Amino acid sequence: MTMKFLQGGALLLGLTALLAGCNTPNPTPPSPTYECPVGAEITPISSIQGNGAASPLVNKVVTLRGVVTQDAQAGLSGFFVQDVTPDSDPQTSEGLFVYTATKPETVTVGQVLEISGTVKEFSGGTQLDTVTTVTSCGETTLPTPTKLTYPLDAPDALERVEGMLVTVTNTMTVTNTFTLGRYGELGLSSNGRLFNPTNGNEESGSVAKNALRTLVLDDGSSKQNPATIPYLNAEKTRRAGDTVSGLEGVMHFANGNYKLEPTKAPVFANTNPRTAAPKPVGGTLKVAGANVLNYFTTLGDAGRGADSQIEFDRQKAKIVAELRALDADVITLMEIENNDETALDDLVAALNSAAGKIEYASVKTGKVGTDAIRVAIIYRPGKVEPVGNARIDTNPVFDMARRPVAQTFRDIAGRGVFTVVANHFKSKGCGDATGTNLDTGQGCWNALRVDQAKAVLAFADKLKVTDPDVLLMGDLNSYGEEDPIKALETGGFVSLNKAFIPKEDRYSYQFDGQFGYLDHALASAALKGQVTGITEWHINADEPIFLDYNVEFKTPAQITDLYAPTPYRSSDHDPVVVGLNLNPDGAVTIPLTVGVTGPATATVNQTYTINVTTSGSPTTLVADWGDGGGFERLIPIAPSGPHIHTYKRAGSFVITVKAGRNGDQEVETATLAITAK
C-alpha cells in the first residue's frame, strides 16, 4: 500500500490559513478544505452498499472517497469512512468499514481519503478489503450523525446506516450483560428492559417486537476477554436496568449483529442500584426459595459446579452471604448436588459457621431420584419445627427432572402449621425433545412441565390432608403466563408473584437479554389470606456473569479485583422471599412417610444394609428387594432403622419399601436403585 500526500492540497490549505489571518475580526473559522486527485473513477459508497443486505459489487475492485469517522484499527483492524458527497436515497448507507488487517494505515478522524480496494462481505457485513492505495486529500468537517429513534421501523432498518455515524435519540436501558466481560458488549433496549413475551408484562409482546427495541453497544474491539471491562461503575458492575443517553458512534455489523462503536464515551446512570437486603415482606415467618448454582462438593469434571477448591470456596462464600441476607426461617434450595446429605450438610455447616451458632438445620432426605442435582429444604430450629418427615413425590413424570420434596412445619411461637414444597421442573433446553415437547413458543418440554404441574397438584392434595396450608416454591422453568403456571392456577393455587409484585418487577432470570420469572411462589387457597408479602431480590439476574465465582476467562488481576464474597451474582436466579402470618392450628395428624437410603452397590452373597425412615406411626412396613422374592415384612417398625438382605446374583435392582396405616388405606412408597456385583 502507498500513502500519497498531495503537495497541491497542502499548499491550498496553507493559503487558506494565510488569508484567514488577514480577515479581522473572524468569529467563525473557515471549514477545512481538501482536494483529491483528478481523473480517478470514483464509486460512491452508497453504490457499494446497495439497498440490500449484501453489496451488489462483491469482489469488484473500486475506488472510493470518504472522510474518516472512526479509527478502530487497534480493536477492529480497520477504520470507518463516510462519503463526502452522499446521495439522496435514504435506503442506501453512506458509510463503509475499511479492513486493514495486520497492515494498519496512519489515518485521523476528519481526514478525507481516496481508497482503492476490493469489496467483500464478511459475516454479513460489507467492507473494503485488500486495500491497495490510500491517498490523503486533506481534512473536512464530519457529517452530522444520522438520528436513530427506537423502536426501529423494520428489522433491516440498521442496514441503511451500516458504517455511518449515528446518534440515538432515546434514553436506552441495559437489558443484556451476558457478553460484557467476554467481548465488551452491552445489550440495550428502548422503553425499559426487555421481558420474555410469555412472562405476562404486555399482552401483545413478541420476540420480533423486542428485536426492534434492541441495540448492541460495543467497546470498539473484537478482542475477547478485555483486561479492562468497559462501562463499569464505581461498584465494578453494570446492572441491567441502568440507563444510558446521548449515544453517538458508528454502526458496525459483526458476528451477526449491528453494533454501535461509540465515538463519544457513553454516559450511564445507575438507575437500578444494588440493595443490601430484600424488600420487606411482613409476617412472623419468612419462607424463601434460592437457586444455589450447582453447589457441588464433587469438584472438577466429575461434578457440575466448581472446577477447583479455589472456585468452590469462592462459590460457598457468595451463597452463604446470599442465604444469610435473606433472613428466612425456611429456605427451599434448587441445584444442590444429589450426593446423599454431603453437599447439603456442607452448606448448612458453612451457614452455621458464619452465624457463630446453630442457626439452620436441614430436612433429611438422602439421595432423591437419579438426577445429578436435587431440591432441598433448610430451616431455623428456633423458629419452626418439622411435623413428621419429608415427603417426596415419586410420580414417574419427574424421572426427567428433580422430584418435589415437601415438609410440614409448625411455627413454634404462633403454632400455625403449613407445608412447603420445593420444586424444580424440567428445563427448557431441547436436547432429545420430540413431538409435543418440541418448542412451540414456551421452550422445549413444555408438555412435560404441564404434566409435572398436574402431578404436583395431585401431590398437594395428599399434603392437604395434614394441613390445607400449602406453599409451592421453586424453579418451575416456566414464565408467568405459560401453560404449567396456568395449570397450577386452574388447580386452585394462587400465584403470589402476580398477586403482590408489580409487572415491571416480576423477574428472576435473564436469557438472551429478555427477563422473566422462572422462580415462583404459589399458595393454596387456604394459605393465600395468611400471606403478607413477596419479593424477588434482584441480586443475580441484573448482574454480569463475570462477577460470579468462576476464574476462567479472567486475568489474574480480574480474579482478585472483580470478586467479592457478597450476595451479588451468587447464582443466575434471583431468590424469592414470602412473608407469612399463620393462623394458630391445633393438633394435626402426623403425615405418613417412608424413606429408604443405602449404598449404590451391593456385593453378591454378602449382607447389604438399607436404612428405612418413617413418620406418622405406620402399622405395616414391607420391602421388595427387587430380586424376585416379593414383599417381606420389615421388623421392627421404627422412625429409623437398618434392614438387611443378601443378593444371590449380580444385576440391577430396585428396592421398594411401603409403609401403611389404617388397614393400609394410607400407603406411602419409597424406592432405591442399586447394583449387585
CATH number at residue 520: 3.60.10.10
Query: Is the CB of residue 107 less than 8 Å from the CB of residue 59?
Result: no
Statement to judge: residues 204 and 304 lie in one domain: no
Q: How many domains does the chain have?
A: 4
588 within some domain: no
Q: Give CA–CA dist 568/293, Å, rounded.
A: 13
User: Would you say how long the chain is, in residues?
Assistant: 677
Distance CA 566, CA 562 (A): 11
The three-point CA angle 174-176-179 to 5° equals 125
- CA dist 245 and 171 (Å) reads 4
The kind and range of the H/E element at 384 are strand 384-386
Residues 426 and 566 reside in one and the same domain = yes
Q: Are 549 and 315 in contact (CB under 8 A)?
A: yes
- Do 99 and 41 belong to one domain? yes
How would residue 4 be classed by pLDDT, with cut points 50, 70 and 90? Answer: very low
Considering the domain architecture, whether residues 204 and 291 belong to the same structural domain is answered as no
In one-letter notation, the amino acid at residue 186 is L
Shared-domain flag, residues 132 and 179:
no
Are 233 and 91 within one domain? no
Domain co-membership, 80 together with 177:
no
- At which of 242, 269, 296 does a domain end? 269
DSSP letter, residue 279: P
- For the segment 29-74, what is each residue's pLDDT rounded down to a tens digit? 556 678 998 888 999 999 999 998 899 999 999 999 999 999 999 9
Amino acid code (one letter) for 512: D
Write down the pLDDT at residue 467. Answer: 95
Alpha carbon distance 78, 104 (integer Å): 7
Within a domain: 217: yes
Q: Which residues contact 377 (CB under 8 A, 6 or more apart)?
A: 330, 331, 332, 333, 362, 363, 390, 405, 407, 420, 422
CATH number for the domain spanning 110: value is: 2.40.50.200
The reply to whether omega before 599 is within 30° of 0 (cis) is no
Listed as own residue / partner, the contacts of 205-210 with beta carbons closer than 8 Å and 24 or more positions apart are 207/514, 208/155, 209/151, 210/513, 210/514
One domain, residues 488 and 535: yes
Yes or no: say if 425 and 477 are a contact pair by the CB < 8 Å rule.
Answer: yes
* 362 and 469 co-located in one domain: yes
User: What is the extent of the structural domain holding 133?
Assistant: 2-139
Choose one of 139, 158, 192: the last residue of a domain.
Answer: 139
Q: Identify the CATH number of the domain in which residue 256 sits.
A: 2.40.50
Q: Is residue 178 a part of any domain in this protein?
A: yes
CB 444 within 8 A of CB 433: yes
Q: Does residue 162 form part of some domain?
A: yes
In 447-568, the DSSP E strands lie at 470-475, 494-495, 509-511, 514-516, 519-523, 531-536
474 occurs within a structural domain: yes
219, 299: one domain = no
User: Would you state the pLDDT for residue 318?
Assistant: 98
Asked if 556 and 494 sit in the same domain, the reply is yes
With bands split at pLDDT 50, 70 and 90, how would you rate the model's confidence at 28? low
Query: pLDDT tens for residues 112-169?
Result: 999 999 999 998 999 999 999 999 999 999 999 999 999 999 999 999 999 999 999 9
